[in-house]
Structure 1
Amino acid sequence: MPRSTTLPAEPDPSARQLAARLRRLKDHSELTMRQLAAKTGYSAKSWERYLGGTSLPPREAVESLARITGTDPVPLLALHEIAVDTRAGRRARPTGQQREQGQPESPTGPQVASPATPNTGISPRATEPAPGHFPHLALTAGVAALAVALLAALLLVLRLGDDTTPAAVTVPPRTTASSPPPSYTCRITRIDGRWSAGINKGRNTEIVYGATGADVAEAQCLLRRAGISPGGIDGMFGPLTLRAVKTFQQRAGLVVDGMLGPRSWKALRG
């Protein structure tokens, strides 16, 4: 499929870097704009602006793209926080500063070079920093410190959520954009009078919208066997799979709630 166009010039490096990384994830996943919109809930035109760098995407859009491509969202969210803070600081900054003109000559008369200091011919004002230079450096340092603090706090929360015992906080290895999402193959068979796709070992685990993994892929294969398309066999319970589940439940005379529970699994396995 064709690659995205080159990003336009952008004064904010963090926003350009975020857009470039999101675009690489989309290109590697080989998703069309329409498929990307169906899996994330954001329109194709919105994704064209996000990936083109003309509009900063919402945090939820970044998380959705990371989820469907199997990418660690933490580095992307850190870039997003920096871009948001930088743009907020730019709005608060004055639009321009007046240059000083017509400075009066010192009341003490012309300056005379000291015998102990060689006269280099450079005005003392030439060595002074430009107005607003130090506030800009302070703002940039503050934004970087805030991003590091947010990233550390997020890693601490994730670590404590996995293990309640005290443990040292470690940074998880970064998942590269080249890591492909898992692939599944439907192998429909009839075992003891029940249909199976051979993916989740016959489990009937309850799954709902937003779930991922082998159980979702098993259900997608069985829905396709029943003549209802769930989209791709990608193990992601997205909008297309939700619509297929509801269609099957209605056809089977079950409660149409879009959730695959024991009764829906029983009907799918027939």
Structure 2
Amino acid sequence: MPRSKTLPAELDPSARQLMADLRRLKDHSELTMRQLAAKTGYSAKSWERYLGGASLPPREAVEALARISGTDPVPLLALREVAADTWDRRRAGGQAHTGGQAHAHTEMPAAPSASSPSDTAEVPSPRPAEVPSSRPAEPTPGRIPHLALAAGVAALAVALLAALLVMLRLEDDVTPAAITAPPRSTAPSPPPTYTCRIARVDGRWSAGINKGRTTEIGYGDTGADVAEAQCLLRRAGISPGGIDGMFGPLTLRAVKAFQQRAGLTVDGMLGPHTWKALRG
């Protein structure tokens, strides 16, 4: 996406500031859209919508871009929360407006007229007032035995159903214990160990771990390429912590310090230029 593309005019200030900051981080990292998609897990089309202001990026996408560029994600996430609140209110306002128009066109059924002739014709004539009897109503002969029989059958059915459920519950509790084998205790595999063997190979420094590869790596990566970079950083006099093959905070700080000393772009990523300076 060209850097000169103008953001939509309807964006609120917080969303506009968020898109501008994300654009700046993307340009600073010197990554193409395809490289950005490969590193963050979001497609290039998605990033075009996010950076173009057509769609609000999710929290994970903002955190991923901040991690790649070595930037604190907290201010960006705060901007995103404010922008999301305004974004949701604007969407809810549009839906409410549409619903209000639909409600305005809903017709209510007409109320019947109080003077309708048909209503007057169906009004029953008043009957003489009856004095209620104080005697209780007598049960209908033959009804009580039928009710008792029906209640007994229902109670029996409920009891049988409850017994069946208890049997099924017991089978569920017993069967897995008889079939499932006891878990095996497996010892965790030890992490790989790396040894720095600093030497000049074809006029370039090497630690003898990743066979001279210059694969682009960054914060959160692991493996032999990270261990090779850690050894070369230590050779350059900047401690990355341990030689453990994990690109953590200490290694990130060491990479940035080396890039600043070498006059490179301080982004915390080991790209071709940083590898070349390390192997010097």
* Structure showing greater Rg: 2
Normalised by the length of structure 2, the TM-score is 0.39
